Amino acid sequence: MNLKTTPFPEFVTSTSSNSINPLFDIVIDENVNLENYCRALIQKVFDLPQSKFGLFIEYQTELVKDELKWINKFEKLITLNEELFSDKKVFCRYNKMYHYIDKKRDELQIISTKRNSKSTPKRLINAEAEDRYFSFHEVKEHIDKIDNFNEKLIYLTEEIFEYKNADIISKNGKLLDYDIQCNQLIKKLQTIRRMKTDFEKEKAQSENNPGPTEDPKIKLQLNGPINIVTNAFKQMMVNIKPNGKPYIQYKIKDVAQFICDNFVDEHGQQLSQATIQTYLSPNRTDKDPNSDSVVRF
């Protein structure tokens, strides 16, 4: 067997006489060195029933201190010696062992991540199952890190199904059930989204329909000299009636403003308030129209 080795940082072996589990032990009766250890490992892949591959990896990783490093070295060993499995009858062994190595590595990495992460206090854990615990406190922290709304709902829904299908060992009686809290958060998120959508619609509608605008004020066009109209107002402001009051009892400035607001000249142009005030002045008779043009009341 033309064997290629890989440097295992540690390896645990037994002899034929002291082996507790000959099926899974790496038995070396001669010199215990790296080459013989690697050779014995490869031989296990050839000799073990394929149904025992998973148990073999579990057994060996429990013997070493750094399980993840050992599993990575074992993977490298069979990869370097892939040509030894080139025969179709044994290549399936290579693939199956590779599968169990991957599975065990994923498991070890998850455990390592949990050890390194900040542990959640017991009082914030809603329930515990065989293989995991359920903490709504952690769920909220995770949801806050997700930007996409749909991804938040998918994550919460998956957690609800995980909880309902789990074999729950214990529950925290001081907290609501995990699935209830997740459902409440889903409803809250959906309500907030509806409100935001409604506000955006209202804003868009108000921008597109700014509301009713006042009809432009109609101004009467004077098709003749302006002083004819101003003289008529002047008469009503100056001439005293039998009751001792004029028809219109307002200041010249106010009446001039009224005329400018309601009349335009024969060209449709705005009237000058200063000019109208001059025409309304009782002392400016020179601005009155000719006697044949005066409107008489």
| pLDDT (tens place) for every residue of the chain, 297 residues total | 688 999 888 889 999 999 999 999 999 998 899 999 999 999 999 999 999 999 999 999 999 988 888 999 999 999 999 888 887 678 888 899 989 999 998 888 777 766 555 578 889 999 998 778 999 999 999 999 999 999 999 999 999 999 999 889 999 999 999 999 999 999 999 999 999 999 998 888 888 776 655 556 788 988 888 888 888 898 888 887 778 788 888 889 999 999 999 999 888 899 998 999 988 888 888 888 887 777 776
Q: Which structure tokens are listed for 208?
A: 């597109």
Contact 118, 105 (CB under 8 A): no
Q: Which residues have C-beta within 8 Å of that of residue 127, sequence separation ≥ 6?
A: 133, 134, 163, 166, 168, 169, 170, 171, 172, 177, 178
For residue 239, what pLDDT is reported? 82
For residue 44, what pLDDT is reported? 93
Q: How far is CA 82 from CA 76, 126, 295, in A?
A: 10, 48, 120
For residue 212, what pLDDT is reported? 59
For residue 207, what pLDDT is reported? 81
Q: Which structure tokens are listed for 44?
A: 């296990």
